[in-house]
Amino acid sequence: MSSVPRLVVAAPSSGSGKTTVATGLMAAFASRGLAVSPHKVGPDYIDPGYHALATGRVGRNLDAYLCGAELVAPLFAHGARGCDLAVVEGVMGLFDGAAGEGELASTAHVAKLLRAPVVLVVDASSQSRSVAALVHGFASWDPEVRIGGVILNKVGSERHEALLREALDQSGVAVLGVLRRAPQVVTPSRHLGLVPVAERRADAVEAVGAMAAQVREGCDLEALLALARSAGGLEGAAWDAGEALVSSPPPPLPSPTLGFARPGGPPSSLGAAPPDPPVALARSSSNAGRAEDVAAGLERAVVAVAGGAAFSFSYAEQVELLRAAGADVVLFDPLEDEQLPDGTRGLVIGGGFPEVYGAELSANEPLRKAVAALAGSGAPVAAECAGLLYLGRELDSLPMCGVLDVSARMDERLTLGYRDAVAVSDSVLAEAGSRMRGHEFHRTVVEPGAGAVAAWGMRTPVRRLEGFVQQGVHASYLHTHWAAAPGVARRFVERCGAA
């Protein structure tokens, strides 16, 4: 059971100030000497970087769509183990979740799964008495969601604050903080949201300090801590990478290809489309056993994991699973390192912003050649989104690694959303027929969009083939959370040992 005190910071809509308040609270409590566990609802990679700066601990995501509702509390308990307090930043508006799926993956859904009180951050810049109606509506919409208080953001003056407080006196919801307009807290954004911490560390440290100062000045920290301590206990064990690797999953589904349209072409007709599975996620097959036995018969293969400013998108559990599966994980920076780590047997390249650093990545020809040579040897290579672009022939006309015969370019249209996918071919990550949920988040296009052997059959929002399987390479736009399918890590490391 986890009894860590916890708060969920939510808002009526995006842009209300959740990140400022949540990050400021994390930093303010951490500065008091509390061990604060930072969490983010949803798939976002960028906010957890700011959370990590604020707390000195890894920021972790809680996503009921990617991982399944049953893993939210165990993953929370894993991250919050030994902490004095956990602060969970919500996503979008409080009740906004996966499109067409009701409350699934919404902040409200996660708050209920965590039995945590919610602090509602309201942008009060253009209202006075109406704030009471808004807060009343959110507090009464779902009786299972406990709104423990409100923090008023972007308040213009003492007079404005007085009007807001007077209105809220009648709502029965406590005012736990009032934040005035503070331009110095604004953090720079670009085409995919906030600029990641990895690209602006000094400025980001300053911004987090400003958030903490604003929260300390405007919020009742003692009342917020008392509210956090009112959270109910969570039953069940914390998630553990080693134990997850030896769990017994359901068998894979039949290979599904019929009805998946190839980009720019007719639907494929290689087999029967699968029925909906009885479980939310299918995992690669495994034999149950003790966690310490998972890596017992495996050579500790070196798995290089790309990082740095160009490839800053990853979930902490991915590396934890790779290590638990027997890998010697070594991080490297494609902007700085001209060679892969010594003895590399497998390569993982996650998401990020290669389009911003295209010239620098292209100029690092020694590393591009090393990546191409590794892939050409048949070694396992897993690439998501930014990794896909890097493995291509060119990005915005700049030479990349040339592992895949694809051309990538920036695009004005934002591709964003959850995806339900199924592996259409055997690969280093999955058996054909394995079901996976993921998300897409990019403003780029690759041509073609799928290889002769595709990685995934996307079931939502339209049925299509996507991605590339080529020798040991698995490359796709789909971001996945490996905690949902631990067998992915085991399968990848096993193939590293065989490479």
Annotate 1-57 with DSSP letters as a single string: -B---EEEEE-SSTTSSHHHHHHHHHHHHHTTT--EEEEEESS-SSHHHHHHHHHSS
d(CA 427, CA 251): 16
Q: What per-residue confidence (pLDDT) applies to 268?
A: 47
One DSSP character per residue, 105-162 reads TSHHHHHHHHT--EEEEEE-TT-STHHHHHHHHHHHH-TTS-EEEEEEEEE--HHHHH
pTM here? 0.89
Residue by residue, pLDDT tens for the chain (499 residues) are 689 999 999 999 999 999 999 999 999 999 999 999 999 999 999 999 999 999 999 999 999 999 999 999 999 999 999 999 999 999 999 999 999 999 999 999 999 999 999 999 999 999 999 999 999 999 999 999 999 999 999 999 999 999 999 999 988 999 999 999 876 565 655 444 566 676 666 788 888 999 999 999 999 999 999 999 999 899 999 999 999 998 745 444 444 444 666 665 554 433 333 333 333 333 333 333 334 444 455 468 999 999 999 999 999 999 999 999 999 999 999 999 999 999 999 999 999 989 899 999 999 999 999 999 999 999 999 999 999 999 999 999 999 999 999 999 998 888 889 999 999 999 999 999 999 999 998 899 999 999 999 999 999 888 999 999 999 999 999 999 999 999 999 999 999 987 6
Question: Nearest 5°: phi and psi at 44?
Answer: -55, 135
d(CA 426, CA 311): 26
Q: Which of 67, 83, 385, 496 is catalytic?
A: 385
Active site residue 385: yes
Classify 385 as helix, strand or coil: coil
Here the tokens at position 167 are: 């209105």
DSSP state of 283: -
Q: How many CB atoms lie within 10 A of CB 339?
A: 13
Here the tokens at position 272 are: 């029967």
d(CA 116, CA 112): 7
